[in-house]
Structure 1
Amino acid sequence: MSRPVAVYTDVTELDPAPGVALLEQAGFEVRVLDESDPDRVAALAADASVLLIGYSVVDAALLDRLPQLRLVCTQSAGVDTVDLAAAAARGVQVAHVPDGATDDVAGHALAMALALVRGLPFLDRQVREGQWDGTSEPLRRLSSVRLGVVGMGRIGRRLATMALPLFGEVVGHDPVPGTQHWPDGVRSASFDDLLAEVDVLSLHLPLTDGTRSLLGAPQLARMRPDALLVNVSRGGLVDHDALLAALDDGRLAGAALDVLPVEPPPADSVVLRHPRVLLTPHAAYLSPDSAAAYVRTQAENAVAWRDTGRALHVVGPAPGPVASGHPG
């Protein structure tokens, strides 16, 4: 009997070698393409049962060109590059890595919030330009600052817990009613009330049709004129034209962004040169510990599917019956 084929598409910042070893030990034939072009993936993974992706787009068109595919494993908590409905309709499971970098991303968001509150990126820029004046920025005492966390999943809850001893108050909101494990000491508020109240807003939501451009011009207008924004989730959560307009008009004091709508951004992107924006290159999740966890858990999803017929961390709608052309 032939071995099932597992194919890595784009290999991003992480070394897949430990995952390859785990898959081969479980009986897979493994290929590493280091490729995200759909035509190349379709040609080189036509016999794949499992696709292990970084940022590759897996849409209905690609799924139709992979007749043996049964499982797509992302290398992150996010699954926004996969058409979940199309996968389910074709009997393909989608699995993610839900907890590989919770501490890393929450810590990155906290570091960004602290940097903005104390004006670090702005003061650094001024000093390098020859200005030596600590009063040029409205520096704030942490214990007088109210932090708002939108999205109380694993990362949002972890950030809230980290922030509670530092900030004057932490306020949370989650669009999913009845969110479990709400941290003690975090006040719950509606989205509109939270926007109007907080000094720092940190976003921790997946990108879906319901959350795309969640923070647009009307929402930004509700925020305090000296408020600060942190986004380490997905660039599409924010209307960036509206964000830049709010910064230009002084309706928002600053933003720290680890994610952008297009990554990497074009060289002429306004956000790269904006003096009130702190940027990092989608690096919030990175550390030696998280890298190992991402690679290992991605491969473990595939091994569990081979052993039991179901990956460890399945997301999206339940796969339907295997369609014609997708034999079991």
Structure 2
Amino acid sequence: MTKALITTIPFGVYDPASLNLLHENNIDYTINPFNMKIKESQLREMIHDYDYLIAGTEPITESVLENADKLLLIARVGVGYNNIDLDYADSKNIKITYIPDGPDAAVADLTIGLIYSLLRATHVSNLKLHRGEWQRHIGRRIQECRVGIIGAGKIGFRVAMELEKIGTKSILLCDLEQSTSLTNHPSMRWADINEVITSCDVISFHLPLTSKTENLISEKELLMMKEDAVIVNTSRGGIINEDDLYKVLESDHLFGVALDVFKEEPYYGKLIDIDRCLLTAHTASMTIDCRTYMEIEAVKEVIRHSNGDSLKCKIPTS
């Protein structure tokens, strides 16, 4: 019987449609038994017996794939795939799919919510009140801020459009490919990364993790930012150097930071000790509608491959 290993969790919890599809197509499945992000060693131990991997952001390395003797397809439940050794997968003729449009709305929602919280310091007020401290904070309205979007792909541009809708007057977009026309977006213009870093009140990151973007923001860039700037990263951990960020925040530079992603996850690092650092557990895509859509689309790719049909969203690996 065809077998699929589902490593991303939760899966099929809020809507069992994806699991029903597997059952209806005679695909046996195992859901991550560890109830947390699976470790490389655990995945290597389990993967040898499966034809399909329905994956999250766990490390799918050469070491893991060496043991994947039967694996035919990795179906990513999400948009990023920097956790997969693409070259080695290609050498073993393992196909990889992803869901490029899946998390757009959910990630944009959380990004804007985090910006609001940072600008009004609601996260700090909440922490202090829980500790018995009554302290009122003066904040800023997002409409009066200059917002910089670093990475203006589908998600980044969606954030920019939502900000424009609510009246944000100045939005700077920074991307290697300035392919989107801004003719109908009077609040937006293209800018280089230095202008975004030095002039924006709010800076939001929407980048893949690559050799070029890893540690893109270190102590130097953080200190170039306005003293009262706020930063949001809902894209990939590793883009902002976490040790440098801690050092800069300890010096009282920056009004606030929100991170939904980290270099190593789960994260239990020292940024937890800084009140004005708002931390969430990689939850940007965690809405019922978003997760259900991505789960179903990933399963459909497995079914397509199992039936010998063309894949819808295959990642080019060579």
The answer, yes or no, to whether TM exceeds 0.5 is yes
Partner of 2:222, secondary structure, is helix
Partner of 2:147, secondary structure, is strand
Deviation at 1:203, TM superposition (A): 0.6
CA distance change for structure 1 residues 280 and 26 in 2, over 3 Å: closer, same or farther?
same
1:71-220 → structure 2 map (5 Å cutoff): 71-134=73-136, 137-164=137-164, 165-175=166-176, 177-180=177-180, 184-185=185-186, 186-220=188-222
Asked if the contact 1:73–1:298 (Cα under 8 Å) also holds between the matched residues in 2, the reply is yes
CA distance in 2, matches of 1:21, 1:80: 29
Partner of 1:100, secondary structure, is coil
Asked if the contact 1:85–1:316 (Cα under 8 Å) also holds between the matched residues in 2, the reply is no
Partner of 1:57, secondary structure, is coil
CA distance in 2, matches of 1:111, 1:151: 18
TM-score calculated relative to the size of structure 1: 0.86
Which segments of 5 or more consecutive residues in structure 1 lack a partner in the other structure? 319-328
Which segments of 5 or more consecutive residues in structure 2 lack a partner in the other structure? none
Equivalent in the alignment of 1:288: 288
Q: Percent identity?
A: 24
Q: Does 1:7 align with 2:5?
A: yes
CA-based RMSD: 2.3
Partner of 1:235, secondary structure, is coil
CA distance in 2, matches of 1:82, 1:276: 33
Partner of 2:238, secondary structure, is helix
List per-residue Cα deviations over 1:174-205 (Å, max 9, x = no partner).
13x24346673321111111111110101111
Equivalent in the alignment of 1:279: 279
Deviation at 1:283, TM superposition (A): 1.4
List per-residue Cα deviations over 1:142-169 (Å, max 9, x = no partner).
3220111111122111111111123231
CA distance change for structure 1 residues 181 and 97 in 2, over 3 Å: closer, same or farther?
farther
CA distance in 2, matches of 1:275, 1:38: 32
Moved more, 22-31 or 95-104: 22-31
Asked if the contact 1:76–1:98 (Cα under 8 Å) also holds between the matched residues in 2, the reply is yes
Partner of 1:172, secondary structure, is strand
Deviation at 1:110, TM superposition (A): 0.2
Asked if the contact 1:152–1:179 (Cα under 8 Å) also holds between the matched residues in 2, the reply is no
Deviation at 1:32, TM superposition (A): 3.5
CA distance change for structure 1 residues 265 and 42 in 2, over 3 Å: closer, same or farther?
closer
Moved more, 199-208 or 86-95: 86-95
Deviation at 1:106, TM superposition (A): 0.6
Deviation at 1:293, TM superposition (A): 0.9
Asked if the contact 1:11–1:34 (Cα under 8 Å) also holds between the matched residues in 2, the reply is no
CA distance in 2, matches of 1:113, 1:149: 12
2:263 to 256, 261, 264: 261
Which letter does structure 1 place at the counterpart of 2:11? L
1:230-241 → structure 2 map (5 Å cutoff): 230-241=232-243
Asked if the contact 1:53–1:73 (Cα under 8 Å) also holds between the matched residues in 2, the reply is yes
Deviation at 1:129, TM superposition (A): 4.6
Asked if the contact 1:142–1:168 (Cα under 8 Å) also holds between the matched residues in 2, the reply is no
CA distance in 1, matches of 2:50, 2:128: 54
CA distance in 1, matches of 2:46, 2:275: 45
Asked if the contact 1:305–1:312 (Cα under 8 Å) also holds between the matched residues in 2, the reply is no
TM-score calculated relative to the size of structure 2: 0.88
Partner of 2:171, secondary structure, is strand
Partner of 2:75, secondary structure, is strand
Equivalent in the alignment of 1:321: none
Asked if the contact 1:4–1:27 (Cα under 8 Å) also holds between the matched residues in 2, the reply is yes
Deviation at 1:309, TM superposition (A): 5.0
